[in-house]
Amino acid sequence: MLRTQNSHPSEEFKPKQCIPITVAVFKELVGTTTQKVASRIIEELAPFPSGSVIHDNACGHGVVTSSIVDSLPKSISDSSRGEEEKEGDKTTIHATDLSPLMVTSTKSTAEMQSWSNYANLHISEMPMQSLTFPPNTFNFSFTNFGIFCLSDSLALTAAQHVHRTLKPGGKAILTLWSQKTPHHDVLMRTHQKTRNTDTVLPSRQDRWHGETFLVDLLVEAGFDRGKVEVREVDVVVDVEDLKRRCEISWSLVGAPEEGWVREDEERWEEALGLLEEGMRGMDSWQDDDQGGHYVVGVNVFVAKK
Ligand SMILES: C[S@@+](CC[C@H](N)C(=O)[O-])C[C@H]1O[C@@H](n2cnc3c(N)ncnc32)[C@H](O)[C@@H]1O
């Protein structure tokens, strides 16, 4: 079947059922998944050497910063250092994101949770591909589930900025979904079935799911291949309300390359039905008291400068 094209693609038609992706909706979708990954990595790296300067690149609503703050000494008794030394020895965190909404969200969490009592904290709008920090600024640079938002050429520029802004001996930590992302396959099958196509969804960018693409990019950006390590960790994704999860996911990534068209509105319920069925059919899907959960794989890249 031929899909009817928008008569005016510039009008950017959206199905009426499409949920607007606000920060709150995005948080609902991400849930605790990226937080769990960040906490696990930071638990392994902590305690950070005193006076460390850390970048939370593409910070979203601040999950990496939150995990770093959690790892810091919370009272004088937690620290072996005296009061005088403490201010200079405080960890400095720069949390940056392209989206003003994400920056506002991180700022308000920081304020509510008094993060600046524990670290020198700077939260600002800044695109990954044009970081304004001087060279050799950071001991650690985290880009948690961020770099795949960029086109290949911008991703290379972003990786060059990560390399440039790291101190010699500093570590860049980047995370990406690995091949084990069964929900992406379900989204793809729904796209192909409801649109009778063998094209791929723009969000399903396979090259990011293996190790090679990002390792090569980091090497091109200036890191030594021998100093880039990759490992895969599994993370449990909790889903309280599967129908709602499918609605949000389809709204966020269901649009094909050429944009939404009327048929997508007409076939919305069919797509949601396929998504729900597909999610429940995933090998790792388990019903539980809270709804359900499944397991996805995450590649953790650690590159030392
Ligand atoms: C999947 S979220 C991950 C957020 C956070 N790091 C986490 O672990 O939850 C991707 C983030 O990248 C941000 N982003 C997208 N393009 C960006 C760019 N060019 N520069 C900086 N941030 C960007 C988005 O606004 C979003 O907050």
pLDDT in tens, 204-254: 667 888 899 999 999 999 999 999 999 999 999 999 999 999 999 999 999
Q: Which amino acid is at 96?
A: T
Pairwise CA distance, residues 297 & 113, whole Å: 30
Question: Measured from the CB, is residue 34 less than 6 Å from ligand 1?
Answer: yes
Assess contact for 82 and 111: CB atoms under 8 A: no
- The parent domain of residue 45 ranges over 9-70+87-304
- Compute the residue count for the chain: 305
Provide the number of structural domains found in the chain.
1
- Rounded to the nearest whole angstrom, what is the distance from the C-alpha of residue 57 to the centroid of ligand 1? 8
Q: Which sign does the torsion angle of CA 158, 159, 164, 167 carry?
A: positive
Question: Measured from the CB, is residue 63 less than 6 Å from ligand 1?
Answer: yes
Q: What is the pLDDT of residue 73?
A: 84
What does pTM read for this prediction? 0.89
Assess contact for 273 and 205: CB atoms under 8 A: no
Question: Measured from the CB, is residue 174 less than 6 Å from ligand 1?
Answer: no
Q: What is the pLDDT of residue 75?
A: 62
Q: For residue 202, tell me if it sits in a domain.
A: yes
Q: For residue 3, tell me if it sits in a domain.
A: no
Assess contact for 236 and 37: CB atoms under 8 A: no
Atom of ligand 1 nearest to the CA of 37: 8
Q: For residue 76, tell me if it sits in a domain.
A: no
- Rounded to the nearest whole angstrom, what is the distance from the C-alpha of residue 267 to the centroid of ligand 1? 30
Q: For residue 295, tell me if it sits in a domain.
A: yes
Q: For residue 224, tell me if it sits in a domain.
A: yes
Pairwise CA distance, residues 194 & 272, whole Å: 10
- Rounded to the nearest whole angstrom, what is the distance from the C-alpha of residue 147 to the centroid of ligand 1? 8
Nearest to 254 by CA among 180, 202, 193, 179: 202
Q: What is the pLDDT of residue 6?
A: 47
Q: For residue 81, tell me if it sits in a domain.
A: no
Q: For residue 53, tell me if it sits in a domain.
A: yes
Torsional class of 259: left (φ above 0), alpha (ψ -120 to 50), beta (otherwise): left
**For 164-203, how does the pLDDT look when each residue is reduced to its tens digit (9 = 90+)?**
999 999 999 999 999 888 888 999 999 999 999 998 887 6
CATH number at residue 33: 3.40.50.150
Instruction: Please give the backbone phi and psi of residue 193, each rounded to the nearest 5 degrees, phi first.
Output: -75, -45
pLDDT at 74 over 80: no
pLDDT category, 87, cuts 50, 70, 90? Answer: low
Q: What is the pLDDT of residue 228?
A: 98
Minimal-distance CA residue to ligand 1 atom 10: 146
